[in-house]
Amino acid sequence: MVASQSGPDYWAAALPDKVAADSIVNRLVNNARCAIALGDIDMRRERDKQARAAQDYWE
């Protein structure tokens, strides 16, 4: 099982060796039995925004 908040396009760009990145992403995508998309919201960014908006964040 592989779980990630990022999609295949992100991983293809993020991995340093582009040939290896393309191979890894293709194998994962083409051999997957199912993919569950939970939406486009990045909860880490959302929680960070909420934390920064709190009055006592910068204290």
Give the pair of three-digit tokens for residue 38: 């939970």
DSSP SS3 for 34:
coil
pLDDT tens-digit series, residues 16-57: 999 999 999 899 889 888 877 777 777 788 888 888 888 887
Cβ–Cβ < 8 Å for 13, 25: no
Q: Is residue 42 domain-resident? A: yes
Residue 17 pLDDT? 92
Q: Is residue 34 domain-resident? A: yes
Q: Is residue 38 domain-resident? A: yes
Q: Is residue 39 domain-resident? A: yes
Q: Is residue 20 domain-resident? A: yes
Opening angle at CA 43, ends 38 and 48, nearest 5: 170
pLDDT tens-digit series, residues 44-53: 888 888 888 8
Cβ–Cβ < 8 Å for 44, 6: no
Q: Is residue 30 domain-resident? A: yes
Cα dist. 49→1, 45, 53, 55 in Å? 30, 6, 6, 12
Work out how many domains the chain is built from and give that number: 1
Residue 59 pLDDT? 65
